[in-house]
Structure 1
């Protein structure tokens, strides 16, 4: 029944956008962008509350949003954790424990429209603003990002090459924005006229087109050490994304896994991350 309702909604949205673009391309593009950026889940669930409550730190004002931050104190280097789409800081629980055992000083936050932070929408430029604010506030030595959080981490490093950040870790991160938008087009079923209008909208708003945003190209200008973890059978973010980034990022290492999925919460993954951060 839910699948049937989704198909009805999808067809209605596609028909609406495909018609609107002939009347007002800018309105169709704006509407398509809002649908794309709308966050539908990822708020803190009751069973997640007790774990996160102990670590709540401050609420930071960034770009009109209130961001909930978290802190697990340690005496070692500072780590900032950047979660993925429709998720929140709780997703890091399995990594936080070995990081704490290694005495890292751990910071994390809920992205806009996620967890305990305010908002309804999220996109990478906004997420990048948030990361930069928290980098300036907490002064982390290392950044770790999962999925779109990993994509944001690389874009942030490209835009803000902070010399104080020594290492970067990405987990199951996509790299090519045009692939994401093509998947979005296929999901909703809108036509190329809408996609072209959306491309123009993004260009005017953010200063780059859909095909301009590529972390594999951004990686050419990153001079930090990096660890990329990606499962060959990742059904959410294609494995070739990290392969391309690794090929262009001279200071990076790619660890490929088999059958660990997109989330990659497994102990072996977390141990590899901790060891990478600990080594000189």
Structure 2
């Protein structure tokens, strides 16, 4: 029954949007985007609490949100970790262990509406606002982003090049906003009219089109050294996203795997990251 409801509810949203978009298009665009950006998972779970509580560093106010920041101190360069959609800082615990052994100074944080941070929604421009504020505050030389975190890192770097960053890592990151929107359209089953009004809202709200928001475009002038991870069988973010980014990012290396999944917590991945940071 639960699985049936999980599949039915998105379709009911789609039916609602399809019916009313002809009468109140602007309101439906706003509602559809809010549903798209609403975070439903990613809060701290009981098995994650002790680990994260022991590393709590400070709470930083960024815009309307209070962002929980964590620190595992070390004497080497500062590394900033940026997690993905409906996740939190816990996702890094295996990599953090290896970074600690190398004595890096580790900074991580929970995105708006994730972990211990406040908020209900998240989208790339909002995430980029938090990322940029923390980049300026802690001035890391090394930055690592998973999934949406990696995409946001590249987006933010294209808007706000940070001179203190020397190396960047992305793991299983999507690239094209228009592909993400198409996936959302198929998930809810809404029509082209609804898709069109969402695209209009995005253009007016963020001053870019869904086609223009592309990581492969963002990296064309990126002169930082980059390491890109992606699994060929990734079911969450398509492998071709990282292939395209690598093609346009002159200083990048693409490390492809097969069967590692989207999260990519495997030792070989984390050891490759450590070697790259050195």
Q: Counterparts of 2:7 and 2:48 in 1: how far apart (Å)?
A: 32
Over the aligned positions, Cα root-mean-square deviation in angstroms equals: 0.7
1:194-238 per-position Cα deviation (integer Å, ceiling 9, x unaligned): 000000000000001111100011110111000000001001000
Q: Name 2:171's counterpart in structure 1.
A: 171
Q: Counterparts of 2:9 and 2:98 in 1: how far apart (Å)?
A: 44
Q: Counterparts of 2:234 and 2:101 in 1: how far apart (Å)?
A: 29
CA contact (8 A) 1:20 1:27 kept: no
Q: Counterparts of 1:82 and 1:106 in 2: how far apart (Å)?
A: 11
Q: Counterparts of 1:8 and 1:81 in 2: how far apart (Å)?
A: 36
CA contact (8 A) 2:11 2:187 kept: no
Tell me the TM-score normalised to structure 2 length: 0.99
1:15-59 per-position Cα deviation (integer Å, ceiling 9, x unaligned): 110112101111111001000001001000111011111110110
Structure 1 segments, 4+ long, off by >3 Å, are: none
Q: Name 2:202's counterpart in structure 1.
A: 202
CA drift at 1:4? 1.8
Q: Name 2:88's counterpart in structure 1.
A: 88
Secondary structure, aligned partner of 1:163: coil
CA contact (8 A) 2:113 2:120 kept: yes
CA contact (8 A) 1:227 1:252 kept: yes
Q: Name 2:103's counterpart in structure 1.
A: 103
1:65-120 per-position Cα deviation (integer Å, ceiling 9, x unaligned): 00000000000011000000000000000000111111111000000000000011
Q: Counterparts of 2:11 and 2:68 in 1: how far apart (Å)?
A: 37
Q: Counterparts of 2:269 and 2:160 in 1: how far apart (Å)?
A: 28
CA drift at 1:265? 0.4
The aligned runs of 1:128-277 (5 Å cut-off) are 128-277=128-277
Count residues with an aligned counterpart.
278
With 89-98 and 15-24 compared, the bigger mean Cα shift is at 15-24
Structure 2 residues not aligned, in runs of 5+: none
Q: Counterparts of 1:242 and 1:5 in 2: how far apart (Å)?
A: 34
Secondary structure, aligned partner of 2:220: helix
Secondary structure, aligned partner of 1:229: strand
Q: Counterparts of 2:63 and 2:218 in 1: how far apart (Å)?
A: 24
Q: Counterparts of 1:187 and 1:104 in 2: how far apart (Å)?
A: 41
Q: Counterparts of 2:174 and 2:190 in 1: how far apart (Å)?
A: 22
Structure 2 residue 68 is matched with structure 1 residue 71: no
Structure 1 residues not aligned, in runs of 5+: none
Tell me the TM-score normalised to structure 1 length: 0.98
CA drift at 1:12? 1.9
Q: Name 1:18's counterpart in structure 2.
A: 18
